[in-house]
Amino acid sequence: MAAMNGKARPMLISLALGWLVLMLLLALFGGWFTAAATHLDLPHRLQPPVFFGGDGSYPLGTDELGRGMIARLIASIRISLLIGFAATCLGAAIGTSLGFLAAERRGWIEQAILALVDFQASLPFLIVALALLAIFGNSLGLFIVLMSLHGWERHARVARATALEANAQGYASAIRHLGAGRWRVYGLHILPNIAGPLIVSASLAFPEIVLLESGLSFLGLGVQPPLTSLGAMVGFGRDYLDIAPWILVQPSLVIVLTTLSVNLIGDWLRDRLDHRL
Amino acid sequence: MEGIAVVLPGFFCAGIFRVMARFIAWRLLRAVLTVLCVALFVAIALRISGDPAVIALGPDAPAAALQAFRAQNGLNLPIPMQIARQFLAMLHGNFGVSMMDGTQALPLVLRHVIPTLEIAVPALLLKLALGIPAGLLAAVRQNSWIDRLVMAGAALGLAVPNFVIGVLLVIVFAVKLGWLPSSGQPSFAGLLLPVISLGLAGAGVLARFTRSAIVGVLTQPHVRAASAKGLSRSAVLLRHVLPNAVATLLPVIGLAIGGLLAGTVVVETLFSWPGLGNLLVVAVANRDVPVVECILILSAATMALSNLVMDVAHAWRDPRIVRGRG
């Protein structure tokens, strides 16, 4: 949070970036492990990892069905990050479009969108998500859409405010007078100019969505077996809390390190890109 | 609200009370509207999701039974009429029957409110008792090691999900040390772990907000003037900084109070605490819509009420906002 000047990147930010790159690589290229993630090795169930006194045949241990923890973790990271990214992008797209619409049309459309923003902001989102899950049931696609509803109101607010500012500046009206249509003005000119605040807003939404997903999956109401996610691993690991704590400690650690990294990088970006938030 | 700003000079002769009464009435209307919107939202989502008769009786129900169910529950009426009927029933406290055990949803939900408050209220107090002093200390000693420690703790508090805090506490205090029970006894010892997990999770965010609110006030000219006229540091803090920072903090505290009923879902499940959160998770897993709807409306009403009270408190602390924005 300290004022950052010059180009020097603090050590902590480099570490956080490194962790995120590792997670991203695991998510992108971890596909080979998906078979291993469901491979049962029952004689070797509940093997402790090396640092819990294991023998090293499974470096991070095995779970209650003898599945290797490394493969399980990678499969979980893939799903958790997929949901996090997809929902953040979808939420940003929805929120930004509505924000632009409000800035362009003004009048009652703007008032309706602002009322919707207030409405969303005044509700505990976890309860809304649970209610929608009860009503619509659950599938991966539906779950991603549901998660994208979290945080769209912040994107909408930021997009509207910054687009109004941009509209008041010379370049937007110059392009309009040159005859550009609305799509061109917003997509090609205003959007790139206000990308900073939008990225910051997305960097706030992403860790919140990861935490929300892991919470719901922990409750058994999010990602459903045979798919797995970090929160679901913690939830299933609860039953083996006393005899095999590594089942639940390792995914917890991955969740914490990932959200912490994104938060740190987000704070750092905010200092550089935007002082409004 | 533009209207009030324009009419205001005239009202000033009549007194601030009339303006205040208008402000409160307007906010009350908004709170009621929010709750109505939630009910409407659920009703629409339910209609989109499928035929309520099929959902209630199952996909294999005979056509005659479906017809009878529709006639009995007014599902043959036009949809706006159905929704109006449902609202009327809700106003009479009739939220429908739980699909799990056939009892009325509202009494079932209300029975679970007290256990939730038993952990949520102490957790809120813990959150305030930890977060506000920590934020204050960090703001006053800006860029010292205390500040760094508090901000690092707050960053960690934002990143660690409350179920992880809860699970770690269980491993240490229940499994390894055996000092405290790991699940749902309604006793003082049983309360401790859920309350601590909930309180710690929220304290970090509150410390961050407190710090930035106080730092914001500290840089203002009136604070410098107070120091310049020779007031002691503690007098400046107590009389000039804190009262101004409280105005910024009220909405955050309001959100925390409004989220009391909703915030305990994960922790209650973790500790098998017999409260609202536990009921909600079971109801969602069984797709017991009447119970879920009842809990949703109850927590939306809590949130709306808390926002209303905080808005009025804010306006009372800082009458400018009555005039400024609606």
CB B281 within 8 A of CB B211: no
Shortest distance, CA A221 to any CA of chain B (angstroms): 7
Q: What are the pLDDT digits (tens) for A65-76?
A: 767 778 888 888
Among A218, A249, A260, select the one facing B159 at the smallest CB separation.
A260
Q: What's the confidence (pLDDT) of residue A50?
A: 66
Matching CATH number, B113-274, of 2.170.150.70, 3.30.390.30, 1.10.3720.10, 3.30.1490.20: 1.10.3720.10
CB B25 within 8 A of CB B324: no
CB atoms within 10 A of CB A9: 11
Query: Does residue A215 have a pLDDT over 80?
Result: yes
A66: left (phi over 0), alpha (psi -120 to 50) or beta: left
Q: What are the pLDDT digits (tens) for A25-46?
A: 888 887 776 666 667 776 776 7
Does the CB of B288 have a partner CB in chain A at under 8 Å? yes
C-alpha A71/C-alpha A62 separation (Å) is 10
Those residues with Cβ within 8 angstroms of residue B307's Cβ, 6 or more apart along the chain or in another chain: A122, B31, B251, B254, B255, B258
- Residue B104 DSSP class: B
Those residues with Cβ within 8 angstroms of residue A186's Cβ, 6 or more apart along the chain or in another chain: A100, A104, A163
Q: What's the confidence (pLDDT) of residue A89?
A: 92
Provide the β-strand partners of residue A68.
Answer: A62
Q: What's the confidence (pLDDT) of residue A88?
A: 92
So where are chain A's domains? 74-273
Does the CB of B155 have a partner CB in chain A at under 8 Å? yes
Shortest distance, CA A99 to any CA of chain B (angstroms): 21
- Residue B171 DSSP class: I
Query: Does residue A53 have a pLDDT over 50?
Result: yes
Task: Report the CATH number of the A74-273 domain.
Answer: 1.10.3720.10
Does the CB of A276 have a partner CB in chain B at under 8 Å? no
Q: Which 3 state secondary structure label does DSSP give A68?
A: strand
C-alpha A19/C-alpha A27 separation (Å) is 12
**pLDDT 10s digit of each residue in chain B, 326 long?**
444 444 444 444 456 677 778 888 888 888 888 888 888 888 777 777 777 677 667 777 788 887 887 777 667 777 777 778 777 877 777 777 776 777 888 888 888 888 888 888 899 999 999 988 888 888 888 888 888 888 888 888 888 888 888 888 888 887 777 777 766 566 667 788 888 888 887 888 888 888 888 888 888 888 888 888 888 888 888 888 888 888 778 878 888 887 777 778 888 888 888 888 888 888 888 777 788 888 888 888 888 888 888 888 877 777 776 665 43
Does the CB of A130 have a partner CB in chain B at under 8 Å? yes
**Dihedrals φ, ψ of A227, to 5°?**
-70, 155
Token reading at B140: 């006053």
Location of structure tokens 């305030």: B128
Domain span(s) for CATH 1.10.3720.10 in chain B: 113-274
Token reading at B271: 């500790």
> How big is chain A by its Cα radius of gyration, in Å?
22
Does the CB of A273 have a partner CB in chain B at under 8 Å? no
CB B74 within 8 A of CB B273: no
Query: Does residue A237 have a pLDDT over 50?
Result: yes
Q: Which 3 state secondary structure label does DSSP give A62?
A: strand
C-alpha B224/C-alpha A131 separation (Å) is 51
Among A127, A136, A215, select the one facing B296 at the smallest CB separation.
A127
- Chain B residue nearest residue A220, CA to CA: B285
ipTM associated with this complex: 0.76
C-alpha A260/C-alpha A203 separation (Å) is 11
Among B34, B161, B167, select the one facing A211 at the smallest CB separation.
B161
Query: Does residue A90 have a pLDDT over 90?
Result: yes
HSE-CB of A158 using CA atoms within 13 angstroms: 28
Among A124, A219, A248, select the one facing B266 at the smallest CB separation.
A219
Q: Give the confidence band of A91 by pLDDT, cuts at 50, 70, 90.
A: very high
